[in-house]
A and B are shown apart, each in its own frame.
Chain A
Amino acid sequence: MNALKIKKGATSHSAYNLRSTFSDVVEQHTLAVLVDNEAGVLARVIGLFSGRGYNIESLTVAEVDHTGKRSRITIVTRGTPQVIEQIKAQLGRIIPVHQVNDLTVEGPSVERELALIKVEGSGDKRVEALRLADIFRAKVVDSTHTSFVFELTGAPDKIDAFAELMRPLGLVELARTGVAALSRGGEA
C-alpha cells in the first residue's frame, strides 16, 4: 500500500520525472510508432527518451503484424510543442521506425488502458468495493474470502478514478498496461 504513492487528483504517473528546460505550455501527446519487430528496437526508443531527457508517461509495445514483423509502440509523453516536435523527428531518425503518428494532433482518437486491481478487506468495505466495481463495469477475475482482483478497461482517467476510490477500501496492488490508442474513423 505504501508503495503506491498516487497523489490525489493525479491523472498520470511518469516513468521519468525530469524537469523540462522549456517554460512554455506543456502538452500531453500520444504517439503511435510503427517499427520492425527486431532485436533491440524497444531499447532504441527508450534510449532516445532517456538519453535526450524526454518524459515517458506510459509505453506499450506488442507485435501487431506477425507476417510483416511489425510492432506498434504507443507512447504517451509530455513536453512543450517544440519538444514534442523534436521527439517525433528523433523517433523518425531511428532506422527500424516506419512511421510516427501523433494521435493527439492528427484528429480524434480512442485511448484505452487495462488495469488489474487487487483489493483486500472484509465486511462493509468488501461490499462497497464490489458495488463501485459494478458502477465502473470492472470485472471480478479472482476472488477469495478476503480479496478481489478487478479487471478494468478504460481511459487512463477512469482507471485513476477507480484506483482512488479503492484506496480506502483496501487497495493492495495495481497493475496497468499503459495506453493503447487508435485514430477514430476508417483510415489507418
Chain B
Amino acid sequence: MARQMSGAKMVVQALKDQGVDTVFGYPGGAVLPIYDEIFQQNDIRHVLVRHEQGAIHAAEGYARSTGKPGVALVTSGPGATNAVTGLTDALLDSIPIIVLSGQVPTFMIGTDGFQEADTVGITRPCTKHNWLVQDTDDLPRLLHSAFHVATTGRPGPVLVDIPKDVQFATGTYQPKPKSSDFRYQPPLKANPEDLTELVAALETAKRPVFYTGGGVINSGPAASQLLRELVEATGTPITSTLMGLGAYPASGDKWLGMLGMHGLYEANMAMHDCDLMICIGARFDDRITGRTDAFSPNSLKAHIDIDPSSINKVIHVDFPIVGDVAHVLEDMLRIWKARGRQMNREGLAKWWKKIEGWREVKCLTYKNSDKIIKPQYALERLEALTKGRDRYITTEVGQHQMWAAQFLRFEDPNRWMTSGGLGTMGYGFPASIGVQMAHPESLVINVAGEASWLMNMQEMGTAVQYRLPVKQFILNNERLGMVRQWQELLHGERYSSSWSEALPDFVKLAEAFGAKGIQCSDPADLDDAIMEMLDYDGPVIFDCLVEKHENCFPMIPSGKAHNEMLLGDASTKGAIEVGGAVLV
C-alpha cells in the first residue's frame, strides 16, 4: 500500500515498520524536519543525549542487550563527525546499529555549506555500508535496506545520510519488504561434508577446546543454547573471548574462563596445548593469539564464522566453515548424535586432569588489604552483592575492564557490554544508558575507571533527565591504570601523562547533576556502600578509591606466546622485549 508523504514522515514511518521503539539522538539544523515528525507521534521514544558519541554508544548498548538493532539520529557536519568513533566501535565489535544523519540540501552539497561534511565519505571505512539519499522516492527502500544490511550476516553499523530537501519533499512510501526480497543474503548453513569432517576430528581428539566469541552472542539466544548443549554432551572444555562472555555460563563446570592477554592461565594453557581447537564466532584477534608463530603450535584448528574474510586472516585453519553459529552448531550436534555420540573419553579424562592442574595455579589470586580497597576486591564484592539479580554490566576501557571480565560472572548472553575491538574509553556510561532504556526494571552497572568515565561524563544529564537508575561504579586509582602498567613494564617506570590530576569531587559532581554520589575508601565500608548504591532508585556515581598501583594479571606480554604468561608482580621486569615493544 503505497502512500504519499514527506521524507521526514517516511523516516518515522520506516522506524515504526521496523519495530523501533527508541531512538538516541541530538537535533540540529539538518534534521529539524525529522524532529518535527518525532514531536507529533508517541510510538517512538527519543532520548536526547548530550553528545552524539553518546547517542551511538547508547544505541550499541541497546542493541547488545536486546539483540535488536539500535538507532541513532544526528545532524549534519559535527553531528555526523561526532558519530565516527561510535560507528568504528560498532564495526569492530559487529554491533547492528542504524545511524541517520542530516545533510545540507542536495543543491548545496559540495559548496562547503554551513555544517556540511562529506559524511558518506568520512564514514565509508567505519560502516558496514552507507547511503546518501538523493531522492525522496528512494528513501523508504534505502531505510529498509539499512535495517536489513545492519542485521543480516555479520552485523554492523550502517549510516543513511538524508539531505534536508529530501526530508521536506513528498514521495511515495514503500512498506517494509520481506527479508528474502533483498539481494544481500549471506549463506547461513555450512557444507554438511565439512561439518562431518570436523565432527570426526572432534570424536577422536585427545585434547579438544572450544574457543568462542561475540559471534555466538550475535547469532542469537539459540546459538548460546546449542553451544551449551554441545559442550555438555561432548564434555569439551570451553573458553571465550572478552566479547563472548555469557554465551556459556560462568558457573558451568566446563568453563575455563576468558582467554587472551589478560585471560585465565588455564584457558590460555589449554589453547596452547590442545590438539583440536574449534573457534566459534571469534576472529583470532591479536589480544587472543599473542605471538602468532607460537600460537597453539600442535593443534588442528577449525574456524566457524559467518564472514569468510575472517577465516585464514590471521591464523591458518584446517577446517574453514562459513556459516551462522546457530545453524552450524545445530547441524554439528545432529551429525555428532547420528554418528553415535562418540568422544575419546579416555583422552578427555586425561586432558581434564591436566586442566585441573592449571586451575590449581589460581591465577586470579591477588594480595588483599584491610587498609585500602583493592580493585579486584571491589569487583568480588560487587559480584557477590549483585549475583542472581537481573543484572547488566557495561564497562569503560582499561584495567577495570579486564578485572570486570575476570571477576564478574556471566550466566547468560547479552548481559555484558564492553568495547572489545576498538577499545573506546568513554563507551561504558552511554552504553549503560542504552541498556537501561531497553530494560527499565533491570539493574544496570557501568564498571568504570575515573579517566574513561570522564570522557563521556556529560551523559549524566541524560541519565538524570530520563530518570535512568544507572550505577556508575568507578574504580578510582587517579591513574590511567593500563597506560601506567605498560609504562612500568615497558618504559622504565617513566609515568608520562598517565595520572589524573585535578579530578572532580565525584560526589559533588553527582549532586550537581541532581544524582546521588557515594565515596568509599575503606574496605570495611565497601559492602554497605555498594548496598546503598543498589538500593537507591536513581543514577549513582560510586567513587571507589582503590589501590593506585595495582597491576592487572595474568598478562601475556606483547610478542610472547600463551605459555609465557606473567602471573604476578615478581616477574615483570624486562618482560617485554624490544620486538614486543612495538606492538600495542
Contacts and interface: CB of A to CB of B under 8 A. Distances in A.
Interface of A: 39-40, 43-44, 47, 51, 82, 85-86, 89-90, 92-93, 95, 98
Interface string B108-130: 00000000000011001100110
Given A95-B149, A95-B184, A82 B125 contact: no
By secondary structure, the A interface counts as helix
10 contacts: A39-B132, A39-B134, A40-B124, A40-B132, A43-B121, A86-B309, A89-B309, A92-B308, A95-B184, A98-B183
A89 B308 contact: yes
B350 interface: no
A98 B124 CA distance: 18
Given A40-B120, A43-B121, A95 B312 contact: no
Interface residues of B, number: 18
Nearest to A87: B309
B104 interface: no
B137 to A, nearest CB: 16
Given A39-B132, A95-B128, A95-B149, A86 B121 contact: no
B312 A86 contact: yes
Given A43-B121, A89-B308, A95 B129 contact: yes
Given A43-B124, A47-B124, A93-B307, A85 B129 contact: no
Nearest to A38: B131
A47 B125 contact: yes
A40 B127 CA distance: 13
Contact of A86 (B125, B132, B184, B313): B313
A170 B235 CA distance: 76
Return the 3 tightest CB-CB contacts between A and B, nearest first. A89-B309, A95-B129, A89-B308
A21 to B, nearest CB: 11
Contacts of A93: 307-309
Interface of B: 120-121, 124-125, 128-129, 132, 134, 149, 183-184, 307-309, 311-313, 316
Contacts of B129: 95
Contacts of B128: 95
A37 to B, nearest CB: 14
Contacts of A85: 312
B307 A51 contact: no
Contacts of B307: 89, 93
A40 B149 CA distance: 17
A82 B316 CA distance: 9
B311 A51 contact: no
Nearest to A92: B308
Contacts of B308: 89, 92-93
Given A39-B134, A40-B121, 11 more contacts: A39-B132, A40-B120, A40-B124, A43-B121, A43-B124, A51-B125, A82-B316, A89-B311, A93-B308, A93-B309, A98-B183
A94 B204 CA distance: 39
Nearest to B148: A95
A92 B183 CA distance: 13
Contacts of A44: 124
Nearest to B130: A40
Nearest to B322: A89
A160 B120 CA distance: 38
A51 B127 CA distance: 13
A93 B311 CA distance: 13
B153 to A, nearest CB: 9
A85 B311 CA distance: 10
Nearest to B128: A95
Contacts of B311: 89
Pick from A40, A90, A93 the residue with the most CB of B within 10 Å.
A93
A93 B305 CA distance: 13
A148 to B, nearest CB: 40
A173 to B, nearest CB: 31
A40 B120 CA distance: 9
Contacts of A90: 309
Pick from B124, B307, B309 the residue with the most CB of A within 10 Å.
B309
A90 B311 CA distance: 11
